[in-house]
Amino acid sequence: MMIVAGQSQSAYFLEEELPSTERSHTLSVLVDNEPGVLARVVGLFSGRGYNIESLTVSEIEHSSHMSRITIVTTGRPPVISQIMHQLGRLVPVHKVVNLTWAGDALERELALVKVSGKGEIRDEALRLAQAFSARIVDATLDSYVFEITGAPADIDRFVGLMKDCGLVELARTGLAALARGRTGI
């Protein structure tokens, strides 16, 4: 389902039979990169009681001052529809696309994971990092910082294992997501 500013936004052709259970959805929102635009989006979610699980924002077209916001939120389909329509109502919003409804979207996240320890624990951390294709971006005699990129679930699994390998701290970027195939939003 896609809402495009300027086109007919009739939901008549768009509402499809969807499972009625609550699940997480990944929304891509194309916006003018202007002051306050993130506050508008975040304020809409808090003001109307919607949940944000993850949010990333970055300028994607410098010349036209466009940014792409990727939001992961949960809700039943009518709530998700309402969130998308409310986002579509904001003046700086150009497009809202639900990548979860569009199908099996590519979702990637980057994490930096710091572990510390010596001996067997340190060797185990290194072996697991290799198994998960994480890169070592910093090392001392008793610590590593790994960089791992992947689907959020893979990162969750890696971080879970690192808890037993001397996990010190963790930074995650939040989600970047694109639909598969040749067309863009």
Partner 1 sequence: MTRQMTGAEMVIQALIDQGVDTIFGYPGGAVLPIFDELFQQEDVRHILVRHEQGAGHAAEGYARSTGKVGVALATSGPGATNMVTALTDALLDSIPMVCITGQVPTTLIGTDAFQEADTVGITRPCTKHNWLVRRIEDLPAILHEAFRIATTGRPGPVLVDIPKNIQFQTGTYENCKDKALTQYHPAVKAPDAAIREAVELMAAAKKPILYTGGGVINSGPKAVALLRDFVKLTGFPITSTLMGLGAYPASGRNWLGMLGMHGTYEANLAMHDCDVMVCVGARFDDRITGRIDAFSPNSKKIHIDIDPSSINKNVVVDLPIVGDVGHVLEDLIAAWNARKPVQDKAAHAAWWKQIDGWRAKKCLTYRPSAEAIMPQYAIERLHALTAGRDTYITTEVGQHQMWAAQYYHFDEPNRFMTSGGLGTMGYGLPAAIGTQLAHPGALVIDIAGDASIQMNIQEMSTAVQHNAPVKAFILNNQYMGMVRQWQQLLHGNRLSHSYVDSQPDFVRLAEAYGAVGIRCSKPADLDDAIEEMIRIDRPVLFDCHVVSLANCFPMIPSGKAHNEMLLGADVSDEEIETAIGTAGKVLV
Residues near partner 1 (CB under 8 A): 3, 5-13, 15, 32, 35-36, 39-40, 43, 47, 78, 81-82, 85-86, 88-92, 94
Q: Which residues contact 52 (CB under 8 A, 6 or more apart)?
A: 42, 45, 71, 72, 73
> What pairing do the DSSP bridges indicate for beta strands 143-150 and 135-140?
antiparallel
Task: State the Cα–Cα distance between residues 126 and 78, nearest whole angstrom.
Answer: 46
Measured in whole angstroms, how far is the alpha carbon of residue 30 from the centre of its chain? 14
Smallest separation (angstroms) from partner 1 to the CB of 86: 5
Q: Between residues 85 and 127, which has the closer beta carbon with respect to partner 1?
A: 85
Smallest separation (angstroms) from partner 1 to the CB of 93: 9
Supply φ then ψ for residue 23, to 5 degrees: -150, 175
Smallest separation (angstroms) from partner 1 to the CB of 84: 9
Q: Between residues 2 and 161, which has the closer beta carbon with respect to partner 1?
A: 2
Q: Between residues 8 and 63, which has the closer beta carbon with respect to partner 1?
A: 8
Q: Between residues 41 and 129, which has the closer beta carbon with respect to partner 1?
A: 41
Smallest separation (angstroms) from partner 1 to the CB of 76: 12
Q: Between residues 16 and 104, which has the closer beta carbon with respect to partner 1?
A: 16
8 A C-beta contact, residue 132 and residue 139: no
CB count within 10 Å of CB 68 equals: 20
Smallest separation (angstroms) from partner 1 to the CB of 156: 34
Task: State the Cα–Cα distance between residues 156 and 173, nearest whole angstrom.
Answer: 13
